[in-house]
């Protein structure tokens, strides 16, 4: 290709110089006008040939420059998608690369999105058996995929977990849809719902006290109530139908329920 460019340039220089000579002779009346036109045409054709050969050389240079692929980022090769020596079509990925910056992804269902999970939603993440660390959803994929029509959400990976994380590992994630601070909760089966609203029964000095409450956030089998009962109260759980205010009782702690 380089030799073709050199040959085309020599041919151009020769034809264009002869065209200038024929033009001068044409103006002096020494040669007919057809000879001058032919010289100018040959010069223009030679210049076009130079441009074509230079374009071909440039194209080959681009191909040569891409003979060795370079990764767009620094990182680790996570997966080989093509083997050395294999013929591949343009645009086919050769390897899957993981960068040095870690991120956490979870699959959200359509029900999760309908409940309000989105960018900025608070969450907690923890390693198996570890303490939960606060984080949040930073982005959502624009397309649902798979039979379950799930949407991939990306969460910020807290620094304490990022230090020991590796590509492909799993972590426990809990999304926080609603949060109430400084509240008191009771077991869900301690709440009596009737036509007058909600109430709980509190055992005091061997008798029951029916206390009207407004239920709030429900999570993990517990429900927040307002006004909150006293810190040392014993709340009745189980079969609440038939219990009455001021009814004498013998209180027994239910197994597995925190006081």
- Give residue-wise pLDDT tens across range 56-72: 999 999 888 877 878 88
Of the pLDDT bands very low, low, confident and very high (cuts 50, 70, 90), residue 136 is very high
Mind listing the pLDDT tens digit for each residue in 70-119? Answer: 888 888 888 999 998 898 888 889 999 888 778 899 999 999 999 889 99
Q: What is the mean pLDDT of the chain?
A: 86
Three-state SS for the chain is CHHHHHHHHHHHHHHHHHHHHHHHHHHHCCCCHHHHHHHHHHHHHHHHHHHHHHHHHHHHHHHHHCCCCCCCCCEEEEEECCCCCCCCCCCCCCEEEEECCCCEEEEECHHHHHCCCCCCCEEEEECCCCCCEEEEEEEECCCCECCCCEEEEEECCCHHHHCCCCCCCCCEEEECCCCCCCCEEEEHHHCEEECCEEEEEEEECCEEEEEEEEEEEEECCEEEEECCCCCCCEECCCCCCCCCCCCECCCCCCCCCCC
Inform me whether the pLDDT recorded for 237 exceeds 60.
yes
Inform me whether the pLDDT recorded for 155 exceeds 70.
yes
pLDDT for the residue 259 = 45
Of residues 102 and 5, which shows the higher confidence score?
5
Tell me, yes or no, if the pTM score tops 0.75: no
């Amino acid at each position: 290709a380089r030799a073709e460019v050199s040959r085309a340039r020599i041919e151009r220089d020769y034809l264009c110089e002869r065209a200038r000579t024929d033009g001068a002779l044409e103006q002096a009346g020494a040669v007919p006008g057809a000879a001058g036109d032919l010289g100018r045409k040959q010069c223009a054709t030679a210049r076009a040939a130079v441009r074509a050969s230079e374009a071909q050389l440039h194209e080959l240079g681009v191909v040569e420059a891409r003979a060795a692929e370079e990764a767009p980022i620094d990182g680790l090769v996570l997966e080989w998608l093509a083997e050395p020596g294999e013929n591949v079509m343009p645009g086919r990925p050769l390897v899957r690369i993981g960068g040095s910056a870690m991120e956490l992804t979870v699959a959200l269902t359509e029900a999760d999105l309908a409940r309000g999970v989105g960018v900025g939603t608070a969450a907690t993440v923890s390693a198996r058996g570890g303490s939960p660390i606060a984080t949040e959803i930073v982005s959502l994929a624009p397309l649902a995929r798979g039979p379950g029509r799930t949407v991939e959400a990306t969460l910020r990976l807290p620094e304490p977990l990022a230090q020991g994380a590796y590509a492909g590992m799993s972590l426990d994630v809990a999304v926080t849809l609603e949060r109430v601070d400084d509240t008191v909760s009771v077991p869900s089966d301690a709440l009596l719902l009737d036509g007058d609203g909600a109430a709980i029964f509190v055992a005091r000095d061997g008798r029951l006290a029916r206390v009207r409450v407004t239920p709030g956030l429900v999570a993990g089998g517990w429900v927040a109530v307002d006004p909150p009962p006293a810190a040392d109260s014993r709340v009745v759980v189980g079969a609440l139908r038939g219990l009455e205010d001021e009814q004498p009782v013998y209180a027994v702690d239910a197994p597995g329920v925190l006081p």
